[in-house]
Amino acid sequence: MQKTKEESKKLFIQTLGCQMNDTDSAHIIAELGEHNNYTTTDTMEDADLIIINTCSVREKPVQKLFSEIGQFNSKKKEGAKIGVCGCTASHLGKDIIKRAPYVDFVLGARNISKISKIIDQKGAVEIDIEHDDSTYEFARSETSLYKTSVNISIGCDKECTYCIVPATRGDEISIPPEMIIEQIKKDVLKGAIEVTLLGQNVNSYGRKFSDGRGKTTFTQLLHDISKIEGIERIRFTSPHPLHMDDEFIEEFARNPKISKCIHMPLQSGSTKILKAMKRGYSKEWFLNRAAKIRELVPEVRITTDIIVAFPGETQEDFDDTIDVINQVKFDQIFNFKYSPRPNTAALELKDQEIPDEIGSARLIQVIDLHKEHQSEHMRSNIGKTVKVLFESLKPNGEVSGFTDNWCQVYVKGSDELLGKIAEVKITSSTRTTLKGELVN
């Protein structure tokens, strides 16, 4: 029976971390909407249920978690429940309730499908790392979006020595291709024209399914998704440089529906450090793959993740990272200072840890160099005509959208542009955005 709006309960949800957590939060909202009559609120004090969907990848957000839930507890409405979900829930488990007894439940990142049941179980802790959500059909929210995101795998089978994710999200299992395609088709009917495929390691897709079926590849999946009528643009994150074989790069270059922006998480430019990180590739392999991509797709934008001050990183190793940055001239760098994490192999390198002030100086050097490259890249767009998918109207009468290679562009226009792809001549740039005029 349909309940009236007045009866609906309020959910406040705060999401930290990566795009997989964003999708998990969207699943939580949709599941609780469909099965438990919750609608979302932006005001924590109004909420009947407060959920914090956490990230563990670095130490800082974990430290912040406890002060934040303490705040929530002191300000929440009487009787409101508090739940901790996500990666920190996976790795701290029942310790969260020990430390903060007012937390009502803890739900690990691999267990999101259990949300509807757990909200009524005071003290419940569901963090089973073997749990398999890969064939669970999550409810989807009803909002019509030009963009949609779909998980294509859960977990991660790599053993990068600094990374806590395999311990919080468990082994990698691929979601069956027919489920992914069905989901995208449904989202197209609601207005989606762009899809982002999500996984910790998207281009190792298809090696293991929970029903034991035969293998397939990410390249094949990309090919099949591009056949869906109504999908104009396909994006994906994160691919792993190790699995960027020629077949994959050629599909990326050839398939006009694939957005020409690629994330190539370098982590370090030093082959010695890459080995200590267990990344599986060398500096030369990375440079060779980046060069091949640029050769086949001259307009490509390449983004990356870099960790500075991994244990044992000498000045010479860091210089290799700077060398790769200078050669590839990334369009966007997400920089991090190494943060020691529980359940990771790099903890054994404790005696080689780099003093914090050296780490901070290296981080600043990367940021400054990157800013120069960013400005250079953005300026090179002036005078070009690009295709933009418009998606939001700004209060100043400008409409913003993204090019196929993922530059943000602003033009004067109206909401009639929303959800449409139009040609724009670029007239000016800042370090991170472009401005232009519509070409009629």
Q: By the criterion CB under 6 A, which residues form the site for ligand SAH?
A: 57-58, 162-163, 165, 200-201, 238, 240, 265, 267, 305, 307, 336, 338-339, 341
Neighbouring C-beta atoms of residue 163, cutoff 10 Å: 23
**Which of ligand F3S, ligand SAH, ligand SF4, none is residue 338 near (CB under 5 to 8 Å by kind)?**
ligand SAH
Among 16, 106, 125, 163, binds ligand SF4 (CB under 6 A): 163
**Which of ligand SAH, ligand SF4, ligand F3S, none is residue 166 near (CB under 5 to 8 Å by kind)?**
ligand SF4
Counting contacts by CB under 6 A, is residue 153 touching ligand F3S? Answer: no
Q: Burial code of 169-181, b = ≥16 C-beta within 10 A, e = fewer?
A: bbebbbbbbebbb
Counting contacts by CB under 6 A, is residue 56 touching ligand F3S? Answer: yes
**Which of ligand SAH, ligand SF4, ligand F3S, none is residue 336 near (CB under 5 to 8 Å by kind)?**
ligand SAH
Q: Could you tell me the smallest distance in angstroms from the CB atom of residue 237 to ligand SAH?
A: 8
**Which of ligand SF4, ligand F3S, ligand SAH, none is residue 417 near (CB under 5 to 8 Å by kind)?**
none
| Residues of span 164-223 touching ligand F3S by CB under 6 A | 164-165, 168-169
**156 versus 324: smaller Cβ distance to ligand SF4:** 156
Among 29, 51, 52, 55, binds ligand F3S (CB under 6 A): 55
Among 9, 18, 305, 431, binds ligand F3S (CB under 6 A): 18
**119 versus 154: smaller Cβ distance to ligand SF4:** 154
Counting contacts by CB under 6 A, is residue 160 touching ligand SF4? Answer: yes
**Which of ligand F3S, ligand SAH, ligand SF4, none is residue 87 near (CB under 5 to 8 Å by kind)?**
ligand F3S
- 422 vs 388: CA distance, rounded Å: 5
Counting contacts by CB under 6 A, is residue 51 touching ligand SF4? Answer: no
Q: Which amino acid is at 270?
A: S
The 226-245 site mask, x for binding ligand SF4 (CB under 6 A), equals --------------x-----
CB 433 within 8 A of CB 409: yes
Counting contacts by CB under 6 A, is residue 199 touching ligand SF4? Answer: no
Distance between start and end Cα atoms, the chain: 51
Q: Could you tell me the smallest distance in angstroms from the CB atom of residue 280 to ligand SF4?
A: 9
- 90 vs 92: CA distance, rounded Å: 6
**Which of ligand SAH, ligand SF4, ligand F3S, none is residue 262 near (CB under 5 to 8 Å by kind)?**
none
Binding site for ligand SF4 (CB under 6 A): 156, 158, 160, 163, 165-166, 200-201, 240
Residues near ligand F3S (CB under 6 A): 17-18, 20-21, 55-57, 86-87, 109, 164-165, 168-169
